Amino acid sequence: MNFSTLNTYGKNKIMNHRKVPVQRYEKGEIAITSDNLAIETVIRLVCNDINIATLLGSPSDINHLLIGHLLCEGYLGIDSLRGSVNNIESNCDSNGWQLSIELPSNLRMKPKNTGVTTSSCGACNNDGLDQLITELPFATSKPQIDESILFAGFSSMEKMQEGFAKTGGMHSAGLMSIGGELITVSEDIGRHNAVDKVIGKCIDVADFEKTVLLLSGRCGWDIVAKAARAKIPIIASIGACSTLAADCARHLGIRIYSFVRGNTSTIVG
């Protein structure tokens, strides 16, 4: 399968960074100069006239952010979203971006307040896994891969992280085939948004059950949940994974490779 068009930067691409005036301190001296900072903006996601979420994120690939968020957060399934990215209406004003879409599907609405916080205080032994995995689907397959493709995939992804190279302040997510072909990459100031974007970009072209999700940072249980809803069976991260991510992955049949370095990694699942 040829994914080259997904990896081509368009001439009218929305930039993720902006040059701003700053003061730079160096060797005891302060000088007026400029620096590239990652753009952060309000992004409102609307589906069937329902306000799904208001996020802070980067403005590139935001149509794909809406599609990926609807899938990865469990509002709609893959079949309901295929072919829908061109139906998104996007508007930008002084209050940020709004992305809207009308789909012939009923949304699986989530409770407004789950009572769950995503940082553990460490004060008890009950991590609440049962509550978090109640509605998550099990992986339908766990394909075998040549582990050497992971580091190669990250090396290829790094070359496409234009926002990070400019600002040092952006996360990246990539989707790679189990054969080692990097399908595409997305960046965002938020790591969850980067995952939503890259999955949204691939919804019409990739068989998610035969892909690997690449993360430029760490892997928490919420990223495992997004992969599960997209039917992605393998996650690889440069950073660590959490206990809930490990337990959730084992329960759902997903494999996590963390601390991917050269020919080494830590495997869970």
Q: Supply the residues annotated as catalytic.
A: 121
Interatomic CA distance for residues 140 and 259, integer angstroms: 25
Interatomic CA distance for residues 57 and 188, integer angstroms: 6
Contacts of 17 (CB under 8 A, 6+ apart): 36, 37, 38, 39, 163, 166, 167
Query: Roughly how many angstroms between the first and final C-alpha of the chain, as a whole number?
Result: 28
Distance of CA 239 to the CA centre of its chain: 15
Lookup: tokens for 47: 């589906």
Interatomic CA distance for residues 11 and 14, integer angstroms: 9
Distances (CA, A) of 223 to 42, 100, 156: 21, 24, 21
Using alpha carbons, select from 95, 121, 87, 116 the residue that is nearest to residue 42. Answer: 95
Using alpha carbons, select from 226, 242, 6 the residue that is nearest to residue 118. Answer: 242
Provide the residue count of the chain. Answer: 269
Lookup: tokens for 132: 């978090």
